[in-house]
Amino acid sequence: MTSPVIPTIRPARPEDVPAVVAMVHELAEYERAPDQCHLTTEQLTSALFTTTPALFGHVAVDERDEPVGFALWFLNFSTWAGVHGIYLEDLYVRPSARGTGAGRLLLATLADICVQRGYQRLEWWMIDWNPAAGFYASIGAEQLNEWVPYRLSGEALHGLAARAQAATTHPNHRPGRVPDRRDEA
């Protein structure tokens, strides 16, 4: 019996984008939310390959250089540590490539970027029922329970944004200042 071929990890290229988008949709299906995933090839290409990208990607490729997994990530910043870190938005390995070390190598690549650049953190969120929790624990990742995620989206996001827009038209508005309750009285 032959052992599985260990994938190679490299930065994503424009020609990888359709495969990565397909895998993002596979991930959404796995996470029981396929109707919430609307990512297109055009959107991901634009995000990854602009002159000043805010999103970065790596792929795990097989012996034919075909993507079998990916990591999409961006920089965050710790005000307490005073340095950047990496936030891993998505990590996914196709079922056919699981057990090859692709996931571990993708994470190791991001950890190496952190170390090389002096970043102190590699962080991500995981859906609570994902069986990858054991894998993450095996590489030394610690689960953070004391932090509670919050999200503004949809109507709530637009409603709050409208307050900022209204503040710029308030009679006491000065650039760089948001009116407070005393201005409303």
Active-site amino acid positions: 136
Distance of CA 13 to the CA centre of its chain: 17
Q: How many CA atoms lie within 13 A of 23 on its CB side?
A: 26
Q: Residue 23 burial (CB < 10 Å; 0-12/13-18/19+)?
A: buried
**Are 173 and 179 within 8 A, CB to CB?**
yes
**Are 69 and 102 within 8 A, CB to CB?**
yes
Question: Helix (H) and strand (E) counts for the chain?
Answer: 6, 5
